[in-house]
Structure formats: C-alpha cells, structure tokens
Amino acid sequence: MPTGGEALGGARYLVRDIDAAGEVIGVALATGDGFAADDGATIRMPDRRPLRVALLAGTPAAIRAAVAADPSLVLVPAAQAQILVGDARAVQGADRPVLILSDAAAQAFVFAGPGESERGEVASRLDALGLAQLDAGALADALHRPVGVDVRDARQRRVTAWAAMFAPGSPFVASPAMPIFVSRSLHWLGRRDAWRSFATAGDSDDPLTLARPGADAPLSLTDRATTLAAADTSAHPAVTHKHGEWPSDLPFLTLLLGAAALLGVEWWLVQRRVIP
C-alpha cells in the first residue's frame, strides 16, 4: 500500500493531502509479474504554489491592487521573485521574466518570448488573457492613440504594456479585463498554465503513464487494450488455416484449371486432325 494511503479494497488506494507543488508521485507493485511495464506508474501533480512576484518602481497602483487580490500570486523581495514588475528603468538588466510598464512601446500590449512569433501560442490565446473583454475603442479615445497587440521573439519572456492604461480614471482600470490581464500575463511569464484557473492531477506535463522498456513514448495505464496487447507475448503461427472455409483465391484457381482443360482439349483435337 502507498505510504500514508488508505486501502479502499479492490486494489484501490486513497492518498490524501498531497501538495500541488509539481512533484511526481509514483507507485509500484511490491511483487511484479512477467510483464514489467505495468508494475509501476507515475503522475505529476499540478504546480499550484503561489507565483513569487516583486513590484518595483513604476508599478501602478492598479497593478499592485490586482496582485494583492490574487491568491495565486505572492509579493516577495526582488531577490526571491520569479517575476519582476516595474518601469523600464527598474527592470533594466533583469535576469528573469518581466512585466514592463512603458508608454514608449510601439503597441499597447507586447508579448515576447523564444519562438513566440512562429509558434503563435500567445497570438492564439489573446482572448484568454482578458483582452477580448477590452473596449479598445474607448481606451484609444482616452489615450488619444490606437490600441494594438504585438507578439515578438525574444531570448527571455517579457510583457510590455503602456503605463497610461493603468492610470486612475482609465477605461482599462475600470474594466474587468484588467485584473485578468495582470494575473494571466504574470502566470505566462512564470511559464505556468495561464489559460485556466485550475488543474487536476495529471493535467500538466505527465499524465498517468508507464514506460515501456526500451521505448521512448509512454503508454497509458488506463488503456486496457494497450496493456493487454503488450502483455500477450505468446507465439502466433504465420499462417492460420480455417477449416471448413474455401480459400480466398478460389476464383483464380478455377480459371487456371479451366484454361488448362481447354488447352488439353485443343491439343487432343489437333492430334486427331479434327482441327488444323
């Protein structure tokens, strides 16, 4: 039985109070059998620890309030942070992902990361970042400049947004899109799943899998057909005869025998001078 587990009967166990910290939980049979591939399995727990964020100089009050109200984010000193937030001067030379507030950016929202312009992960998920709820027309009127989104390649992930959008009285601050944008952008910067607010065990990198010896691809323990097929190591004859059934090539054999019979009759008639 797994350590700290509760036996439920029928080879089932219940393990409680496992931290959602991205760890891999494994189980294995104490005594294996002839098919070693299904003697153990692993599952990766979702990582739901709060994302460590540092708010540096130039961080608007609206962003500070959004971060403080989000239980998936925790404020820490810059040295301990996974993500830095601040103006361009405060985050200059940062060695980790950043959310930059700068009115000098070409677009209102700029997402950058390795290969982002080619893979298009962010470009296809802009709605999930809360931007679908944004009234771009009202925001453009308030800022007196067109509002747009850009996706670029960069060595390290970063998000740039106009600081003016977070000023008091801005339509963006009053919009429900603002805290969604802040939270999900920070989670994307932290390489977390920014597209949903929860995850069950096995939903992240590694589902419930087992490794086939000598193979790179995992096999699912929940796939009964795969497990049974892999366990069937009995020898099978190359050809199986089905008694009481006609061979599948019977028409061809019939035609071949008929042609041979006609050739034999023609030869007999020639020998008897019945035909030239």
Write out pLDDT tens, residues 55-73: 999 999 999 999 999 998 9
Identify the residue with better confidence: 218 or 193: 193
- Give the other-Cβ count within 10 Å of 101's Cβ: 26
pLDDT at 215: 39
Q: Given phi > 0 = left and psi -120 to 50 = alpha, else beta, which region is 115?
A: left
Of 16-20, 44-48, 137-141, 210-214, give the range with the top mean pLDDT.
137-141
pLDDT at residue 256 tops 50: yes
Supply the DSSP string of 177-231, one letter for each residue.
Answer: HHHHHHHHHHHHHTTS-TT-S---TTSSS--SEEEPTT-SSEEETT-HHHHHHHH
Of 32-41, 42-51, 89-98, 224-233, give the range with the top mean pLDDT.
89-98
Could you give the CA distance from residue 269 to residue 263 in angstroms, rounded to a whole number? 10
Average pLDDT value for residue range 74-94: 95
Could you give the CA distance from residue 195 to residue 50 in angstroms, rounded to a whole number? 16
